[in-house]
Structure 1
């Protein structure tokens, strides 16, 4: 019986730890890492009444003179738009525009997790788009609001 319980716990741990912290989206594969600072296990817990800081390290596949953050919370397969306080990807983000194709960048943005948000699981789809509305990076991060 102990062996059965130990096996079940090991399998469960393997399944839980196998959830990636992020996945690339929109057909792009230029993201090296993406994370919510302080999160090491998916889904990342976003605590209401606090801030969530997203960091994405990527190599530019599109040039840009301007960048705009586009964020959606995907709940039950439905993307709901979210407007972070700082949508300008060239200001206070770790990136100085213009963005050059082939160069590596580290983007950072902090988003408030409001106390009015319901407690639920979702996927945060985070995109950075250039002035022509072309996607510079796209990541999806599994999360839960607590």
Structure 2
């Protein structure tokens, strides 16, 4: 039994190391008010903010964090600040906001004190103007207390416009 547990822990560790190699840590900032800060955040495709985020797409964030209490459920809350003065809540669909079903590497809720987990947040980016935005991402527990929080600067950019390149193959025509 102990050998099986050791093997599972080793496999989990290898998966975390592999993920870190594929997606290096992103430089994020602390939220105000001494809220718990994640162990590490990886915004796929971005190491140094502002992160270019394609409007109309989904941006993946991997958030490694530890908790200091027994947590049975968590929800993601996002606030967006534009022009440095306008802050609004960013509404998320319930399945996107739910943290527990999106924990990685075999983790699940409840989460126990001192346990560290990785959460895959698939952030839907709407069809917004191409501007810089400061986003604050909060993971809030069943008691509405912040389990972890960070700030990341993003820039909403236009994608390739859906242009598809077609290659004509004249040699294999019939």
Q: TM-score range by the shorter chain?
A: 0.7 to 0.9
Match of 2:66 among 59, 62, 72: 59
Mapped to 2, the partners of 1:133 and 1:38 lie a distance apart of: 31
Distance 1:31 1:42 in 2: 17
User: Secondary structure of 1:23's match?
Assistant: coil
Find out whether 1:139 has 2:150 as its counterpart. yes
Aligned match of 1:7: none
CA drift of 1:92 comes to 2.5
Instruction: Check whether the contact 1:62–1:135 (CA below 8 A) recurs between aligned residues.
Output: no
Question: For structure 2, which runs of at least 5 residues remain unmatched after alignment?
Answer: 1-25, 158-174
Which structure ranks higher in relative contact order (CA pairs < 8 Å, sequence separation ≥ 6)? 1
Larger strand proportion of the pair: 1
Q: 1:88 aligns with which of 98, 108, 131?
A: 98
Question: What is the 5 A alignment of 1:26-105?
Answer: 26-75=33-82, 76-85=84-93, 86-94=96-104, 95-105=107-117
**For residues 77 and 60 of structure 1, what CA distance do their matches in structure 2 show?**
31
* Deviation at residue 45 of structure 1 after TM alignment: 0.7
Asked whether the 8 Å contact 1:62–1:134 carries over to 2, the reply is no
List alignment gaps of at least 5 residues for structure 1: 1-19
Shift of 1:83: 1.9
Greater helix proportion: 2
TM-score w.r.t. structure 2 length?
Answer: 0.67
Q: CA-atom RMSD, angstroms?
A: 1.6
Report Cα offsets for 1:31-69 as digits up to 9, x if no partner: 111131111221111111221111111111232111111
> Do the aligned residues in 2 keep the contact of 1:21 with 1:43 (CA within 8 Å)?
no
Report the counterpart of residue 6 of structure 1 in structure 2.
none
Q: Which has the larger radius of gyration?
A: 2
Between the two proteins, the alignment pairs up a number of residues equal to 126
